[in-house]
């Protein structure tokens, strides 16, 4: 996914109130939006004034003057922090794959239709569903392949491996999604959890059991029930963000 304009590079002064950030660019300070509900643990270091990538919309009537897209860690790695991007880049590669009849991942190849934002119950939506043909969406007997996309930025060194982890804080919403996906699999459907790892330095993936033990337990049960887990690396840059084909081993 190419950005409309090349992102600006500035200095991140602070993140506060979860959704606000002050950045410095060309000796001016701008208050911008942080589209991320997570803690950004291991990404934002309050003791540093980190390099960051962001956009400005130019509308002076708005309090938030743009959006934070990426932060550079002390090790020099760019980490994408905008949680609205993963869904869009996954949808982009799905659409491209369907139009060219060559799926981004082999296990998507058998499907000919995809619908984003799929309601599976009164309270729950998943990010998308694959079916072999469009008519199968309304066919209760047709087997479907549901997907849910999770943004991943946390990285820890575990047993010598740079390990991408999810979640970076307690996630009751994530727990609910796992429970719902197990119900779908019990009904004969496929379910896939895509962890979009918005940093290029990750070597493997695991669940952060210490940050959310209940999520870790549900994740273990869901995998045993057949959940497809796809932790895939996202390439983050000033001109575009893209989904690679590098799938990390789950440990």
Q: pLDDT tens digits for 121-180?
A: 888 899 999 999 999 999 989 999 999 999 999 999 999 999 999 999 999 999 999 999
Q: How many CB atoms lie within 10 A of CB 224?
A: 9
Q: Which helix (H) or strand (E) holds 109?
A: none
Nearest 5°: phi and psi at 185? -65, -35
Q: pLDDT tens digits for 113-131?
A: 999 999 888 888 999 999 9
Q: pLDDT tens digits for 33-57?
A: 999 988 898 899 988 889 999 999 9
- Quick one: residue 98, left, alpha or beta (phi over 0 = left, psi -120 to 50 = alpha)? alpha
Here the tokens at position 143 are 């087997």
* Residue ranges, CATH 3.40.1350.60, the chain: 85-250
- List alpha helices for 50-101, DSSP H: 85-100
Check residue 12 and give its pLDDT: 97
Q: Could you give the 3-state DSSP secondary structure of residue 176?
A: helix
Nearest-angstrom CA–CA distance, 73 and 197: 15
Spatial neighbors of 165 by CB under 8 A, at least 6 apart, are 152, 154, 155, 156, 205, 206, 207, 208, 211
* Residue ranges, CATH 2.40.50.580, the chain: 8-77
Spatial neighbors of 109 by CB under 8 A, at least 6 apart, are 102, 103
The CATH architecture that domain 85-250 belongs to is: 3-Layer(aba) Sandwich (3.40)
3-state helix, strand, coil in the chain (%, to 5): 20, 40, 40
Nearest-angstrom CA–CA distance, 149 and 138: 23
Here the tokens at position 238 are 């000033």
Nearest-angstrom CA–CA distance, 205 and 248: 6
pTM above 0.85, yes or no: yes
In this structure, the chain runs to a length of 251
The answer to whether the beta carbons of residues 245 and 87 sit under 8 Å apart is no
Share of the chain above pLDDT 70, in %: 100
Please tell me the CATH code under which domain 8-77 is placed.
Answer: 2.40.50.580
Here the tokens at position 184 are 């779908």
């Amino acid at each position: 996914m190419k950005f409309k304009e090349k992102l600006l590079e500035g200095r991140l002064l602070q993140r506060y109130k979860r959704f606000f950030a002050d950045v410095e660019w060309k000796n001016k300070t701008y208050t911008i939006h942080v589209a991320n509900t997570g803690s950004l643990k291991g990404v934002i270091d309050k003791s540093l004034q980190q390099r960051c990538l962001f956009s400005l919309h130019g509308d002076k009537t708005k309090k938030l003057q743009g959006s934070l897209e990426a932060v550079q860690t002390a090790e020099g790695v760019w980490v994408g922090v905008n949680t609205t991007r993963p869904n869009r880049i996954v949808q982009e590669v799905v659409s491209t794959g369907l139009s060219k009849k060559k799926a981004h991942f082999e296990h998507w190849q058998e499907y000919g239709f995809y619908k984003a934002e799929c309601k599976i119950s009164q309270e729950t939506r998943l990010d998308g569903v694959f079916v072999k043909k469009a008519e199968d969406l309304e066919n209760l007997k047709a087997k479907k392949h549901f997907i849910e996309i999770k943004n991943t930025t946390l990285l820890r060194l575990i047993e010598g491996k740079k390990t991408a982890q999810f979640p970076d804080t307690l996630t009751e919403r994530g727990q609910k999604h796992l429970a719902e996906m197990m119900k779908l699999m019990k009904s004969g459907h496929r379910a896939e959890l895509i962890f979009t790892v918005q940093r290029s330095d990750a070597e493997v993936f695991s669940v952060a059991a210490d940050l959310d033990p209940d999520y870790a337990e549900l994740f273990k049960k869901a995998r045993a029930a057949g959940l497809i887990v796809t932790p895939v690396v996202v390439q983050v840059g000033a001109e575009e963000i893209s989904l690679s084909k590098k799938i990390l081993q789950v440990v």
